[in-house]
Amino acid sequence: RLHHPSATASHDQAHTTRRVARAAARHRRSRGARTKRLGSHGDLRLERRDRGRLLHPCTSHVVPVRRRNQGDLAHHQQLRQGNARTCTGSRGVLCAVRATKETRKQPVIHRRLTASMRAKKRCHRWCGHCKALQPEYEKAAKALEGIAKVAAVDCDAHGTLAQQHGVQGFPTIKMFSVDAKGKQQVSDYNGGRTADALVDYVLTSLKKQAKAKLGKGTSSGKGGSSSGGGFYPASSDVVMLSDEDFEEQVVQDDDVWFVEFFAPWCGHCKALKSDWMAAARQLKDKVKVGAVDCTGPGQSVCQKYGVQGFPTLKLFNKGAKSSPIDYQGARDQASITEFALQFWVDTSGPPEVHELTDHQVFVDHCLGKEGKAKVSKCFIAFLPDILDTGASGRNEYIKALQDAAAKYKSRSYAFFWTAAGMQNKLQTAVEVGGYGYPGFVAYAPKQNMFATHKGSVSADGLDPFFELPSGFVEVRGAFPVLDTVAAWDGLDGELPEDEFDLDELLRED
């Protein structure tokens, strides 16, 4: 809304001013909207209605704001010969009442505040976020001088260029580079809006390009990327992934993968971090858990899978890696683990029941390395000698163990078996063998404790023991090293040949 409050104007000018003021007061009372001060020029005050309407100074009525070169523009320009002048901006047409002969000769200019950016970005000069970014962007430009060129594009003046690069919001920051094959690469920057984050991103991208030209990757000893700003520590069970190894690690792998697409500056990602690491520990040896930094060396992967927000969680099932499942559940460890485990149970085959032929078998599936247990409970069956049961009887016991393993495969369990007398040190450690076979033991590797089942060996008798074993006692001393023995061949046993002459025994008698 525009009006002229000067008390020194001519009678006609004062009359027009009063008409404008009265009309403004009436409209303000009727609409109840506030006005916004746009600026001033000489004795003129420029104001705009919040609801997108202006007071027409010639007719004293409110008219809509129109785009330049539309509608009333020709009429407004006629005012240049009378008692008003016009100004046009990219967002509308404004009118102002002329105060004096001097101001009539001076153009009334409506200008929006600008944020003169110097960056690889597309911006609108009126954008508040662009203004906030300006000092940090200038710091980054100064720090990157001689390393990378930093530029800016004013999208008000160069709208066609912005459209060519698909700019939809402001500020949009893009990285233009050339890969090892000489092909131009354009990537969107979605990182933090600080000088440090911008510089880190550029340096990481340049390092990646240099490594690519050398034919080397940036993977770590865990088989995943070492980038990501140390967001997940190397000691965690979360595998860091990048554009270079995602295809090999995830897509070509036969295991199920649960992957987080994140940005290090994202508050929700930081809140999820501890739960994601805890879920990775719980899902170990069942579902592999990974993470991709979408602001660093994982940008191409994030774009490929349509990541639009952070964190985005996707589950990649074996045989259908091109169509991952989006996780929409709660962002806590229990919910994430339950979802992944249930999916693993529904899609995976029955777990294996391992024969204890050497110590390494028990380490790989129960004890783990360096004190990091693979599971929470290890169930060991000590079966009767093959001569007592035959092959069919032993297979029945093994089948019962397989059924239990399938029933409880969502739990952190592992199942083993050995024949009586084959692992004597283990039998002594867990106090099995004095009351006959078969014997069943539950071993907790983290606590080095065991519980013995002394009830019925039928399915009904064993089920409560597998469901909730109790009566744990500590193993005396360290867990024994298992003996290396031959695996069962699946056949019935044979009686040993006589090592003495029966006739000789009879003659002795």
Sign of the CA dihedral running 471, 477, 481, 482:
negative
User: In degrees rounded to 5, what are phi and psi of residue 99?
Assistant: -90, -50
Residue 95 designated active-site: no
E strands in 339-457: 353-355, 377-383, 413-419, 439-444, 449-453
Q: Are strands 239-241 and 287-293 parallel, antiparallel or unpaired?
A: parallel
Taking the CB of residue 125, how many other CB atoms lie within 10 A of it? 19
Question: Nearest to residue 100, comparing CAs of 75, 83, 81, 80?
Answer: 83
In the chain the first and final C-alpha atoms are separated, in Å, by 133
Q: Point out the catalytic residue in the list 269, 294, 302, 378.
A: 269
Q: Point out the catalytic residue in the list 130, 155, 294, 366.
A: 130
Residue 130 designated active-site: yes
| Residues comprising the chain, all counted | 509
E strands in 356-407: 377-383
Tokens of 470: 């109790």
Three-state DSSP at 48 gives strand
State how far the Cα of 451 lies from the Cα of 431, in Å rounded to an integer.
Answer: 10
Q: Point out the catalytic residue in the list 127, 294, 302, 378.
A: 127
At a CB cut-off of 8 Å and minimum separation 6, what does 167 contact?
122, 155
Q: Using an 8 Å Cβ cutoff, are 47 and 37 in contact?
A: yes
Question: Nearest to residue 290, comparing CAs of 316, 271, 327?
Answer: 316
Tokens of 57: 């100074």
DSSP 372: -
Question: Nearest to residue 85, comparing CAs of 96, 71, 101, 74?
Answer: 96
Question: Nearest to residue 293, comparing CAs of 261, 246, 324, 271?
Answer: 261
Q: Point out the catalytic residue in the list 266, 294, 302, 378.
A: 266
Percent helix, strand, coil in the chain (nearest 5)?
A: 35, 20, 45
Positions annotated as catalytic residues are: 127, 130, 266, 269
